[in-house]
C-alpha cells in the first residue's frame, strides 16, 4: 500500500483547502467504486475505524466490513463535502443512498473524521451516521453507478 498504487494517497498532508477538497473527492470516488480492497489501500495496515457502533482494526477488518456493507447496501451512491481540516486531519460531512434487497431505499447522513499518518495513508477514521428510509421517487443521487459526474450538484446545492 503506497501512493503509487493508490491515487487517493498521493494527496499528502499538511492539507490546504484545495488539497483537502481534492482528497475528499478522491475518497468519495473510491467509495462509489465500490471495491473493498481498493478503498482499503488508502488506509494504513494498522488503521483504526469507528463506523456507527462498529470498531475495526486493520485493513482485513475494513475489507470484511465493506464487503458486508456493499452486499447489503445496493446501488450505493455517496457525496462528501469538506467540513474542516488542519494539518494531517480532515473532517467531511456526507450523505449516501442505497437500497436493500427488498428495494427499500435508505439515506444516511453523517460526519467522518480522518487522521493521516506521517506519510500518505489514513490511520484513523471515525464516522457518526444517522439513517433515514425514503421512497425511490425522492432520490436526488441519480447518476449511473460509479463516480459522481462533475456537474452533479454537491450536498449544499441539493439541500442535504
Is residue 77 a contact partner of residue 98, using CB atoms and an 8 Å limit? yes
pTM above 0.85, yes or no: no
What CATH number labels 7-140+154-158? 3.10.450.50
How many helices (H) does the chain have, and how many strands (E)? 4, 6
Rg (C-alpha) for the chain, rounded Å, is: 15
The per-residue pLDDT for 3 is 43
- The 8-class DSSP code of residue 3 comes to T
The per-residue pLDDT for 1 is 43
Query: In 87-151, where do the E strands start and end?
Result: 89-99, 105-116, 122-134
**Mean of the per-residue pLDDT values of the chain:** 89
**Nearest-angstrom CA–CA distance, 75 and 65:** 17
Q: Which three cell numbers stand for residue 38?
A: 481498493
| Structural domain spans, the chain | 7-140+154-158
The per-residue pLDDT for 10 is 63
Amino acid at each position: 500500500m503506497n501512493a503509487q498504487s493508490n491515487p487517493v494517497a498521493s494527496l499528502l498532508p499538511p492539507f490546504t483547502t484545495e488539497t483537502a477538497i481534492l482528497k475528499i473527492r478522491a475518497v468519495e470516488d473510491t467509495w462509489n467504486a465500490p471495491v473493498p480492497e481498493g478503498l482499503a489501500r488508502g488506509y494504513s495496515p494498522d488503521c483504526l475505524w469507528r463506523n456507527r457502533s462498529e470498531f475495526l482494526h486493520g485493513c482485513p477488518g475494513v475489507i470484511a466490513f465493506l464487503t458486508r456493507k456493499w452486499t447489503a447496501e445496493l446501488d450505493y451512491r455517496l457525496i462528501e463535502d469538506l467540513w474542516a481540516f488542519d494539518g494531517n486531519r480532515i473532517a467531511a460531512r456526507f450523505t449516501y443512498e442505497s437500497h436493500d434487497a427488498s428495494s427499500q431505499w435508505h439515506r444516511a447522513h453523517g460526519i467522518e473524521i480522518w487522521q493521516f499518518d506521517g506519510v500518505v495513508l489514513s490511520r484513523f477514521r471515525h464516522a457518526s451516521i444517522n439513517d433515514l428510509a425514503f421512497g425511490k421517487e425522492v432520490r436526488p443521487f441519480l447518476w449511473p453507478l460509479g463516480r459522481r459526474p462533475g456537474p452533479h450538484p454537491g450536498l449544499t446545492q441539493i439541500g442535504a
